[in-house]
A and B are shown apart, each in its own frame.
Chain A
Amino acid sequence: MSGTPGEAVPLIRLRGLTKVYGQGQAAFQALRGVDLDIEAGEFVAIMGPSGSGKSTVMNTLGCLDTPTGGEYLFHGLHVERLGRDQRALLRRRYLGFVFQGFNLLARTSAQENVELPLLYRGEPAAARHRAARAALASVGLAGWEHHTPAELSGGQQQRVAIARAIVTAPEVLLADEPTGNLDTQRSHEIMELLWRLNDERGITVLMVTHEPDMARYARRIVHFVDGRIDSDTRNPEPAALADHAAEAR
């Protein structure tokens, strides 16, 4: 366990994280020393210009990639020292992913797509079916279980992807530009969904976005420039809260 005594260890802690792609002449430093603490239950939006290292840091946080240098502590555990399979087990147990391109299995029903992570966890069939149906219902897709991705709209596909990410009840939901392929209306629906998962279930949400409108749903906005954190600000009034306040009035 790392961290000074007396100070609670945050869920996620990055210290001096660097990432270099390629070697020699072609080497490119995508991350140049990132320090970041994220507590359980936060909703963080990561913003910044293209090529500033947002996806790189997300992939590292998601245990899909290993940093070149620095430390990544998840629950106090040194992820940068773990092997491939250990990181896979960590993903399976604690993390849910939503990608810009939805990344559903083609020609496979929504139900089966959502069941996939449970299959790898070795859950029995009955439990798998129940959990997948519940997850689809919670993203508003009850009755769409047997549709394949080709038969669903972009917004619906992204909701299936979210259902797949949350079906294992993860602690952290990582979303890299989840609304990048959606129109404004659909984007707001997805953001509402993420906000609810964070607010009602206490799932920690980390999200990359280009759009300030979408970042407004987060409680905290981290700005990347050139592989470094440029600013890290609290959002006192997340968008969804404002809406709810408006409704209440």
Chain B
Amino acid sequence: MLLNTLLLALREIRRNLLRSFLTILGIVIGVSAVITMVTLGNGATLAVQQQIAALGTNLLMIMPGQRLGPGRSSAGAPTFKEADVEAIRQQIGGVHVVAPQLMSSVTLVASGRNWSSTINGTSNEYFISNNWKLVFGRQFEEAEERAGSAVCVIGETVRRELFGAASAVDVLGQPLRVRNFSCEIIGVLLSKGQSGMGSDQDNMVVMPLRTVQRRVSGSQRVDVLLVSLQDGSDSERVKASLTHLMRERRKLSDTDEDNFNILDTRQFADAMAGTTQVMTMLLGAVAGVSLLVGGIGIMNIMLVSVTERTREIGIRLAIGALEREVLLQFLIEAVALAALGGLIGIALATLASLALSAVMQVPYVFDAGINVLSFVFSAAIGVVFGYFPARRAARLDPIEALRHE
């Protein structure tokens, strides 16, 4: 009986192909919107996680100034010194490498072209702490670091903007003008692309710390200390001992507040990923509402269909259909329509997600859960919104229905 009813329902759907299509359009759009949103959101979350992993796993950044908040500022807080790097390296356990960082915005000139970029004065440890690989060339030599020689490693964007077609090998040994001095390019970094926040990580020139201190900033200061942790070391504990050490070195009394703060990129990554996840859920929920509206569309058309087919229902009742058989037929029709809409929606969503993730440059992550959930939900919508019209059909008086024109 169930199979027969299903066949009847499918025949009915086929008999009114255009109307059936219009009926399920809402469901199709709803399902594909939900799945596309969630799939893209998942892709974005993954992208953020990947980018932050590329930044260096478990990296602590020590910055001058109090933790940002109302009534607080970093202005006037003392910066760091090169000696801090050595102190951390020697006194704190669980640390992999420590790198200083001194940043400065500059205009670069090479082969007759200008380009605005950032200079990053640091040490070879920086390549380790922040996960940078070289495509060509070499890192700094110890003597170069000590002497503050005019050598630099450039990012991919700088290479492209200044040297264009010249390959990475060809730019090695070329001069690069920074303000009033010229430095030799000794290496090119492997591209990392955009950061999680959308800035171009490859637009950067890396130089030995002392070179930047002497020739660009003209001071002994260090802006940021990058502390990369060993695998499996407890970042909370390292943070605590770093705080202790830095307070000591900066001669803070017990009542003074910290005049530096330690940023944990892992926490930062989790927060970022959390934000995209919340966004995903929000977008998914909005799309879910459109799915609900699709369900109301089904109810609407099914009600029209019951009125339109009153005579047919009368015939069925007259030749011996039971109330529940008519109910079941209309219900199955609604569910079959909704489920069909769900399937088409899934197919559409797959295409849309593939296309959009390519355009938005986020990875395509197939999520079986949301596909199954959307399908089940659309079928459930068929049951809920199909029930009322179906009951109305089943309760018709056969004589009245037969007389209906």
In the bound assembly, the distance between CA atoms of A34 and B183 in angstroms comes to 118
In the complex, which residues of chain A have a beta carbon less than 8 angstroms from the beta carbon of B323?
A: 84-85, 88
- Inter-subunit contact B320/A120 (CB<8 Å): yes
B8 to chain A, nearest CB (A): 7
Tally of B interface residues using CB under 8 Å: 21
In the complex, which residues of chain A have a beta carbon less than 8 angstroms from the beta carbon of B312?
A: 105-106
In the complex, which residues of chain A have a beta carbon less than 8 angstroms from the beta carbon of B317?
A: 88
- Inter-subunit contact A97/B4 (CB<8 Å): no
A106 to chain B, nearest CB (A): 8
In the bound assembly, the distance between CA atoms of A85 and B312 in angstroms comes to 18
Q: Which residues of chain A in 11-25 are interfacial with respect to chain B, using CB atoms and an 8 Å cutoff?
A: none
Q: A122-B1, A122-B4 are in contact. Are A116 and B399 (CB under 8 A)?
A: no
In the complex, which residues of chain A have a beta carbon less than 8 angstroms from the beta carbon of B311?
A: 103
Tally of A interface residues using CB under 8 Å: 27
The closest CB in chain B to the CB of A176 belongs to B402
Instruction: Tell me whether chain B's interface is mostly helix, strand or loop, or mixed.
Output: helix
- Inter-subunit contact B319/A116 (CB<8 Å): yes
- Inter-subunit contact B322/A64 (CB<8 Å): no
In the bound assembly, the distance between CA atoms of A93 and B320 in angstroms comes to 8
- Inter-subunit contact B322/A97 (CB<8 Å): no
- Inter-subunit contact B398/A64 (CB<8 Å): yes
Q: Which residues of chain A in 41-76 are interfacial with respect to chain B, using CB atoms and an 8 Å cutoff?
A: 59, 62, 64-65
- Inter-subunit contact B4/A89 (CB<8 Å): no
For residue A121, CB closer than 8 A to chain B, the reply is yes
For residue B72, CB closer than 8 A to chain A, the reply is no
In the complex, which residues of chain B have a beta carbon less than 8 angstroms from the beta carbon of A95?
A: 320
- Inter-subunit contact B399/A65 (CB<8 Å): yes
- Inter-subunit contact A99/B402 (CB<8 Å): yes
A82 to chain B, nearest CB (A): 13
Provide the A76-113 mask, 1 if CB < 8 A to any CB of B, else 0: 00000000110011011101010100011111100000
For residue B125, CB closer than 8 A to chain A, the reply is no
Given contacts A85-B322, A89-B320, 15 further A-B contacts (CB under 8 A): A64-B318, A64-B398, A85-B323, A85-B324, A88-B321, A88-B323, A92-B320, A99-B318, A103-B315, A104-B315, A116-B316, A116-B319, A120-B316, A120-B322, A120-B325
Could you jot down 21 A-B contacts, CB within 8 Å? A64-B399, A84-B323, A85-B322, A85-B323, A85-B324, A88-B317, A88-B322, A89-B320, A91-B320, A97-B318, A103-B314, A103-B315, A103-B318, A106-B312, A108-B15, A116-B315, A116-B319, A120-B319, A120-B322, A120-B325, A121-B320
